[in-house]
A and B are shown apart, each in its own frame.
Chain A
Amino acid sequence: MRKVDQDHTRFRDIVRGRIKRDLRKFVTSGEMIGRQGGKAVSIPIPQIQLPRFRYGKNQKQGVGQGEGEEGQPVPGQEPGQGEAGEDPGQHSLEVDVGLDELAQILGEELELPNIEPRGKKAIRTQAGRFTGISRSGPKSLRHFKRTFKEALKRQIASGTYDPDNPVIVPIEEDHRYRFLSTREEPQASAAVIYMMDVSGSMGREQKEIVRIEAFWIDTWLRSQYKNLEVAYIVHDAAAHLVDQHTFFHLRESGGTKISSAYELCLRLIDDRFPAHEWNLYPFHFSDGDNWSSRDTERCVDLLKNGILPKCNQFSYGQVKSAYGSGQFKKDLDGVFRGDDKVVTSDILDRDGILPSIKTFLGKGR
């Protein structure tokens, strides 16, 4: 390891520490981070510059060179943006953090346990890499360096090597070939099914909360599973399978029949994600207003006999809204008391996102 790598690692540790401390801020701006798409996101870290006694920025004057009449703006600047002169102002440092790393930091901070995949149902895949060396093989896989090394060894040993005329001629037995060594890798696949209530009572802020929370849950689960499939279901009085964009942007209005979503979810599991091959995580977000208690009974029945036996954990997040009664969570809590496959949580506002994530993912199922 080079010397600078140590200092660099140390710097990254400090950055991680800062991210941890500011995690709440980054989590509530999850949408922004998520929209960056790619693998790494830039996170501004203020004040990693050591504080010093230095001049402030406001009464800035300076000397420049070039064209421009007195009283005219200095050419070449964007309106409202002042980057002229030496800049002693407040610095913030942009560091790139991979989503994986972010998930890890989230995990450390929320003390999330690593998920124990359902072992017996894990699929095994064979992964092959050309890491071995063998004495026989096809010409195309010949390892030149090793071959010539062998030849050199043989020539030195037999005294035919002449340092002044270093010609090395490999013979058949010197030849070495790359060799495919395979090993079995257990592979767990997971599917997340997000269900969201989009009835009239779910406002913009409520959806925003669901969106941010879903992003972070996604990020965490992705760091735990290689293959993560995601499905989105929206429902009011009827449920639809939609794509991600629609899921977050749709604004419906109308009544609420939660059972419709659970029925669709169950059908989806049977069709696409057979339980013996998949680790299943259905999440349902709603403001807790259901059409009728009859429908709630139907939901409980669907959960008990359909969804729960097939999934790792069923999570229900109840977002506080001005109109919702919040009855549904009480009902679920009543029926499934003591069943640790059902996890429910209340999300009052944006600050409630982190604790809610911890509730959902804190069991490591």
Chain B
Amino acid sequence: MGELTPELARYRDEIRELAARYGLDFYEVVFELVDYDELNMIAAYGGFPTRYPYWRFGMEYEQLSKSYSYGLSKIYELVINNDPCYAYLMRSNSLTDQKLVMAHVYGHCDFFKNNYWFSKTPRKMMDITANHGARIRRYMDRHGVEPVEHFIDLVLSLDNLIDIHSPFISRDASGTRSPAVGSGDDDDTGRIRAKDYMDRYINPPEYLAAQRRKAAEQRAASRRHPAEPARDVLKFLLQNAPLEGWQQDILAMLREEAYYFAPQGMTKIMNEGWAVFWHSYLMTRHIVEASEVIHYADAHSGTLATRPGQINPYKLGVELFKHIEHRWDVGKFGDEYEACEDEEERRAWNRPTNKGRDKIFQVRSIYNDVSFVDEFVDAEFAEAQKMYVFGYDQSTGRYVVVDRDWRKVKKQLLDSLTNFGNPIIYVADANWSNRGELYLYHDWMGADLQFDAAMMTLRHVFEMWKRPVHLETRDEGEAKLFSYDGKEPVIREITGSRSPRDVVGTLQEQG
């Protein structure tokens, strides 16, 4: 690793100053010059060279090294959300590439610092991961590499089961639990106080019956553990699974890392789009010299190339930012524009307001990929970008273009972005069948799980929970219950639960 050459340092200062002048606001950026091997190594560790020892980083390293040496892929740059930001530049990049990358990096750093979804991420992550590394190494010394590594395997196969919104709200009902309804005499449950002669009308028998039923349900629910279905499965296991001290500590550390990385998954399109927007803006207006234009255009178009059947987040993101800027520049917003139903008129709309720049800065602060796409992908955009929905045709074994209707495109895009592509799974009941069995509920939204992987994952849950575990999911709409009790994996057909609050308390024996 090394510092920038004097020449690069000069360009860095120039780019930094330009970026600041256009309103980008970033943590200080520390650029390091590394060779390809170092870069592959750092990338294998997700940007944190001091992370805990683990085989998967070695695997990633081998894959990166291999695909680099076969000329299949090349990492230009790597930037870490931290204060200061660390950015690694590949030493062998051409000067033009380096300038592009530095401008790109300032875009990312501005995004890290200002996007709301990053606001709860720790900014001293370099130190934290190093600390985690040291602690895990110590556990390995004390308990042996195998058990610790195996436990990490278990945790990492569950680390997508977190609640990405939880840093922003308190879901724990602790302290707010109201005394159970009707805890005393069943009779006056839900009865509204009324004068005797009015009682018959104000508290009719049907109403009282409904109130009693509700109270019974609530009582049943309050006996249930967890009281509310838990989306943060890792946290639930951390607090409730019978784990050793060191296991709890590792689970807590890896959970913290999962939460640190989650916003990057939630804002991939925006973050890359924003960085591309700024590198192209700064490069084409200020930095690129005449002799570099071809090289720059080549590199830039390389990042934006789309392959059929795939969304390139760089491309989608930057185009959408440009689209928003344009709309707000020409006044295509507000009630009057929204209410306008005439396609022609909408298209030709031009009431210059020049609010575009302000708008995209606002967008980069408060949106994430889901709300970004939901709010701003419209007919005009989808058409201009030639977006389509594709589906798999069983008979030919090919993917075919199914639809170009922008609403369907948007819905499909949103589906794939929700929970950044992970299924949503709740801990519905930790005392299922009144036998301490763990009942997980998959909130099925039309896409099936990969069943063999699901069963293997369930085994991992069992290893932590140490009592039988179940997963309710659906197979093409038919409810299925996957169970593992440490011996035989079993799949049963069941009548599906309506919601995770409402799982069937026990399994009816069938035959």
Contact = CB atoms under 8 A, between A and B. Distances in A.
A58 B448 contact: yes
Contacts of A6: 53, 58
Nearest to B377: A63
Contacts of A62: 309-311, 389-390, 412, 416
A80 to B, nearest CB: 4
Contact of A8 (B62, B149, B387): B62
B250 interface: no
B58 A82 contact: no
B397 A80 contact: yes
A115 interface: no
A141 B105 CA distance: 50
A93 interface: yes
B449 interface: yes
A73 B449 contact: no
Given A61-B412, A85-B309, A11 B56 contact: yes
Interface stretch (B168-176, B334-342, B351-359, B454-462): B454-462
A77 interface: yes
Interface string B325-361: 0000000000000000000000000000000000000
Interface string B396-423: 1111111110000100110010000111
Contacts of A242: none
B184 interface: no
A54 B310 CA distance: 19
B179 interface: no
Given A4-B41, A50-B153, A59 B448 contact: yes
Nearest to A89: B450
B388 A64 contact: yes
A54 B398 contact: no
A77 B442 CA distance: 33
Interface string B129-169: 00000000000000001000100010011101100000000
Contacts of B447: 55-56, 59
Interface in B61-115: 61-63, 66
- How many B residues are at the interface, by size bracket? 35 or more
A140 interface: no
B306 interface: yes
B385 interface: yes
Contacts of B386: 65-67
B59 A84 contact: no
A53 B161 contact: yes
Interface in B437-477: 442, 446-454, 456-457, 460, 471, 476
A164 interface: no
B315 A65 contact: yes
Interface string A83-126: 11110111001011000000000000000000000000000000
B301 to A, nearest CB: 14
Contacts of B307: 76
B324 interface: no
Nearest to A62: B390
Contact of A73 (B63, B399, B448): B399
Interface string A33-76: 00000000000000110111111111111111111111111111
